[in-house]
A and B are shown apart, each in its own frame.
Chain A
Amino acid sequence: MNVDDAVGRAHRAEWARVVAALTKRFGDLDVAEEAAAEAFATAVERWPADGVPPNPGAWLTTTANRKAIDRLRREHKRLDKQKEAVMLYDGDPPEPVGAIDDERLRLVFTCCHPALAMETRVALTLRMVGGLTVPEIARAFLVQESAMGRRITRAKDKIRAARIPYRVPSTADLPARVSGVLAVLFLVFNEGYLATGAGTDPVRQDLTAEAIRLTRLIRVLLPDDGEVAGLLALMLLTEARRTARVSASGELVALGEQDRGAWDQHLVAEGQRLVLERIATGIAPGRYQLLAAINAVHTSARDVRDTDWSQIVALYDRLVRVDPSPIVALNRAVAVAELDGPDVALAAVDRLDSALTGYHAYHAARADLLRRLGRGPEARSAYDRAIELAGNTAETAYLTRRRDQLA
């Protein structure tokens, strides 16, 4: 095996484990992060000459431990004192049924702590759990590297000073805390899937892939959590359509017009299997499981004309009860158009005006319904508004062509 591949593979497989193990030992995320980074840099230097060690994970953890001790000695900190002073480690095995006692789970919950701002949780999770570098994270979210560095440093300072614990939350807090973790992962995925910014690719596969990788990890750690499985299924069924969703000229291809033969059948099969597994438990599904189920119905139709719209509307009805947001109501209305006609759907969409007037998808949905109802001038002004608000280059190209095709 190529040494570069070995380092890359070790990075993907072992980064979070090394950071988590060092956080446990030294009680400090900053020490853990820096020592882990140094250990990987040493691997890049040494493995080509010395060969890849038989157990790369153990080699990296040992090397990182040594780097951390060197740093603390340099800074004249007493190791025992260091640990006592900074971070509270709860050595009890995690309480929740089915949770795996893995240091990485503690790391995830610390990085996604509700006392941190959402954008901070995203950055910290990508750094500490995902192993992305600060410049990579800065590029992903189109912010200055120095600003991203400061955000991560501030977060580590707050974790230390306010004593955000390094622990899996109690059973009572777990559902809310897991949904906080999933929100972070879904945000990363969506930023990849609907990348914003005039100069960016319409789909950032690096981000969707990272989100899927991290969600797979959470699923390993919390195998019995239905919403974790639901989010993973949702991501897989969405990612499966990635290449079919943008044309060669960089234009969005609507679901009904996609080449279904270009969908990734392995991802579709894995996502659908997860959805079926959850249905088989008989436990009432949450938001992500319902969204995944809707996508499972779409991806099981070989032709858009075979789509079971009544099933999709029924799933949206359940979703509205779990998540009564106007965006869910908008998506439900789009499905209703296929079942009951565009006039019924338009009436439902128009009721959302005050809530969604600043949201491009609201105007795009209205434009499409008005077009189908033959109301050209109104459709045109709705397309104009949607184009003005859309931030994704592929969506803008699609909406512009649709508008220009109006009679």
Chain B
Amino acid sequence: MQYLVSVIDERSNSATQEEMTAIRAFNERVQAAGHWVFAGGLADPSTATVIDNRGGEALFTDGPFVETKEFLAGFWVFEAADLDVALTLAAEGSKHCNRKVEVRPFL
């Protein structure tokens, strides 16, 4: 079972040096424990481009598809046996990256 752990941010500056160190150490522990699938940090929402190709001609729009105070700053994908395991990992992740996170199961 895989879970997406989204990192929710309100600040536009990226993680501090201490946060990066803590995240790296946490990631190594996750890998060692066999829960690692993938993870990544994202650039600021202002760097986003929205594409709509439903009409046959691709339209490009500058900026995120919706402006919000909170935005997705990065994510983990964990392999976990059940939600309890995923929640424990996500709680650790929230502590080390110093941000709120949201857990959602993959279908």
Contact = CB atoms under 8 A, between A and B. Distances in A.
Contact of B1 (A163, A167, A169, A173): A163
A163 B87 contact: no
B10 interface: no
Given A115-B83, A163-B81, A165-B82, 18 more contacts: A88-B81, A88-B82, A114-B87, A115-B87, A161-B105, A162-B83, A162-B103, A162-B105, A163-B82, A163-B83, A164-B82, A164-B83, A164-B84, A165-B81, A165-B84, A167-B84, A169-B84, A173-B84
A88 B105 CA distance: 14
Interface of B: 1, 81-84, 87, 103-105, 107
A209 to B, nearest CB: 32
Interface string A132-169: 00000000000000000000000000000111110101
Nearest to A170: B84
Contacts of B87: 114-115
Contacts of B105: 161-163
Interface string A106-132: 000000011100000000000000000
User: Which of B1, B83, B107 has the most chain A CB atoms closer than 10 A to its own CB?
Assistant: B83
Contacts of B107: 161
A164 B81 CA distance: 10
B71 to A, nearest CB: 23
Interface in A299-339: none
Nearest to B81: A88
Contacts of B1: 163
B85 to A, nearest CB: 9
A72 to B, nearest CB: 21
Contacts of B103: 162
B90 to A, nearest CB: 11
User: Which of A163, A164, A169 has the most chain B CB atoms closer than 10 A to its own CB?
Assistant: A163
A369 B67 CA distance: 53
Nearest to A113: B83
B95 to A, nearest CB: 16
Contacts of A169: 84
Contacts of A162: 83, 103-105
A163 B104 CA distance: 10
Contacts of A115: 83, 87
A332 B68 CA distance: 45
A162 B4 CA distance: 11
B6 to A, nearest CB: 14
A367 B105 CA distance: 52
* 4 shortest interchain CB distances as A-B pairs: A165-B82, A162-B105, A163-B82, A162-B83
A162 to B, nearest CB: 5
Interface in A60-111: 88
Contacts of A163: 1, 81-83, 105
14 contacts: A88-B81, A115-B83, A161-B105, A161-B107, A162-B104, A162-B105, A163-B1, A163-B81, A163-B83, A163-B105, A164-B82, A165-B81, A165-B83, A167-B84
A370 to B, nearest CB: 44
A63 B25 CA distance: 54
A88 B107 CA distance: 15
A231 to B, nearest CB: 24
A163 B81 CA distance: 8
A169 B87 CA distance: 13
A173 B84 CA distance: 10
B86 to A, nearest CB: 8
User: Which of B82, B87, B103, B105 has the most chain A CB atoms closer than 10 A to its own CB?
Assistant: B82
Nearest to A160: B105
Contacts of B83: 113, 115, 162-165
Nearest to A87: B82
B38 to A, nearest CB: 19
A371 to B, nearest CB: 48
Contacts of A113: 83
A113 B81 CA distance: 16
A314 B27 CA distance: 49
Contacts of B81: 88, 163, 165
A113 B86 CA distance: 14
B13 to A, nearest CB: 31
A115 B87 CA distance: 9
A17 to B, nearest CB: 24
A163 B80 CA distance: 10
A165 B87 CA distance: 12
